[in-house]
Amino acid sequence: LPVAPETEDEDKNIQLVENYLRNFYKLETDKQSHFKNKNVNSLTEKLEEMQAFFGLKVTGKPDVDTLEVMKKPRCGVPDIGQ
Amino acid sequence: YVLTDGNPKWERKDLTYRIVNYTPDMNSADVDKAIQKAFKVWSDVSPLTFKRIYDGNADIMMSFETGDHRDNSPFDGPDGLLAHAFQPGNGIGGDVHFDEAESWTKGSNGYNLFLVAAHELGHALGLSHSTDPGALMYPTYSYTEPNEFRLPQDDINGIQTVYGHSDNPVQPTGPTTPVTCDPKLTFDAVATMRGELLFFKGRYFWRKHPQMTEVELNFISLFWPSLPSGIQAAYENVERDQVFLFKENKYWVLSGYELVYNHPKSIYDLGFPKNVKRINAAFNDKNTGKTYFFVGGKYWRYDENRQAMDQGYPKKIINEFRGISKNVDAAFQNGRYIYFFIGTRQFQFDPNVKRVVSVMKSNSWFNC
């Protein structure tokens, strides 16, 4: 069956968040994890770290403002610990 | 600013660079100029010098690469990752890679090579990403007109922490990023736009919805790449759904976030005499359709319906707006009041009783 557009968007966003935090904030996850297992805390912490770095409201959640920053063109060097 | 973990740095001050290949997006002379200008950004504020070599190994090797280019940091095609650089060191250390999948330019379209190169060189010299949104070393791309570019103070502080001061007798200084809740904050211009408030300061503006607590600081160039920094006066004509921005003797017209004309117009077309070189502040009275322009200690009144200055102006500000002296920085109308900004203070003026009814800090709208 085709995936509902909103589910598709949500999956894309989850992927975006995980990739972003893995690339720039040293998030370590196994690829199956998403938000539903033992790595949730780590992901939340990394998300908070990212939000603090960019001066966003620190919610630990991938809100609209956070996703907007993650979609911006940027330098490939990590924001923490090269 | 943030230094790279472990504080890596070049031990020599005289460094070499090499442009290994070119992008087909630009002609090679423009690439050379952009790269040379990017090096100058850092050599102007530090004791470092950079000499170009044309073959062999340079300290900083600069190249355009595509996708996985075997350095364990693959590029991702158009947008997203634009470039990366390696911290000072031997071999790949100090090298700069640009993603060839981007559209590289010398202007505002695509990605400006000079701006990205200058950022990457910061990494090649030992700087990490800064949390200062105005810094060159901030991680995300934002466009600044290259001819207007000045290295921000945050980056100057960073590079000088690593390598010491410039050899120049006069130490260069750079622009600082305004702090929203700084009690000494002043504004260049303030205007309403479709229910929001826009506060202009240098190359930045804040966007604020009166009913929301959040306030957003942006580069002017992010929304309007062709607008200059340092807007001096602004007002909204609600009837025409247009915002007018003034700098020196020119003005630009916006409709929402679009520029109405590609080129600025002259303030003399509005009826100002030639001895007026700039406008300090402006606001439009929604009730009468009259726009008030403040210049020094005087003001002009413009009739938006007739598209002409009213007769009998300029008049002294103090005569109509008791309590408001000269040197108004910014003004706007909200509800029944007019708000005048003078230095760090804001005067709430009630035109019905013709007096100031409240004095506040200039940034009172920011819920500090």
- A55 shares contact with chain B (CB less than 8 Å): yes
pLDDT at residue A35 in the model: 53
Cβ contacts of A15 on chain B, cutoff 8 Å: none
**Predicted pLDDT of residue B174:** 94
What band does A37 get if pLDDT is binned at 50, 70 and 90?
low
pLDDT of res. B209: 84
Structure tokens at B1: 């600013």
Q: Is the pLDDT of residue B12 over 70?
A: yes
As a whole number of angstroms, the distance between CA B261 and CA B242 comes to 12
Task: Read off the pLDDT band of A62 (50, 70, 90).
Answer: very high
CB contact under 8 A, B4 and A76: no
Q: What percent of chain B has pLDDT over 70?
A: 100
Interface residues of B toward A, Cβ cutoff 8 Å, are 4-5, 73, 75, 79-85, 87, 99, 111, 116, 119-120, 123, 128-129, 131, 133, 139-141, 214
Given a cut of 70, whether residue A32 has pLDDT beyond it is no
Does residue A41 register a pLDDT over 80? Answer: no
Region B176-182 average pLDDT? 93
What's the token pair of residue A18?
């995980």
Helix B28-43 × helix B113-124 angle, to 10°: 40
Q: Compute the distance between CA of residue B288 and CA of residue B298 in angstroms, rounded to an integer.
A: 20
Give the largest Cα separation in chain A, rounded: 43
Which of B120, B239, B304, B320 is labelled catalytic? B120
**Measured distance CA(A66)–CA(A79) in Å, rounded:** 15
Find, in chain B, the residue whose alpha carbon is nearest to that of A79.
Answer: B129
Facing residues of B30 across strands?
none
Q: Which comes out higher in pLDDT, residue B168 or B348?
A: B348
| pLDDT over 80 at B211, yes or no | no
Q: Are A45 and A60 in contact (CB under 8 A)?
A: yes
Q: What is the mean pLDDT of residues B54-67?
A: 97
Nearest CA in chain B to A50: B131
CB of B334 closer than 8 Å to CB of B350: no
Kindly list the strands in the beta sheet with B49-52, ordered across the sheet, starting from the edge strand earlier in the chain: B49-52, B14-19, B60-65, B96-99, B83-85
Spatial distance between the Cα atoms of B290 and B198, rounded to a whole number of angstroms: 20
- Residues of chain B with Cβ-Cβ distance to A82 below 8 Å are 4-5, 87, 123, 128
Please list every residue in chain A whose beta carbon sits closer than 8 Å to the beta carbon of residue B141: 72-75
Give the model's pLDDT for residue A82: 56
Nearest to B301 by CA among B286, B284, B318, B287: B284
CA pair distance B67, B8, nearest whole angstrom: 27
Antiparallel, parallel or unpaired: β B330-334 and B215-219: unpaired
Are the C-beta atoms of B66 and B75 separated by less than 8 Å? yes
Kindly report whether the peptide bond that precedes residue B351 is cis, defined as omega within 30 degrees of 0: no
Q: Does the CB of A76 have a partner CB in chain B at under 8 Å? A: yes
Torsion angle (degrees, nearest 10) of CA B221, B224, B229, B235: -140
Q: Which of A53, A76, A79 sits opposite B84 (nearest CB)?
A: A76
Q: Whole-angstrom Cα distance, residue B248 to residue B68?
A: 49
B280-339: pLDDT as tens digits: 999 999 999 999 999 999 999 999 999 999 999 999 999 999 999 878 999 999 999 999
- Confidence check: pLDDT of B185 > 60: yes
pLDDT band, residue A52 (cuts 50/70/90): very high
pLDDT at A6 over 90: no
Encode pLDDT of B212-265 as tens digits. Answer: 778 889 999 888 988 999 999 999 999 999 999 999 999 999 998 889 988 999
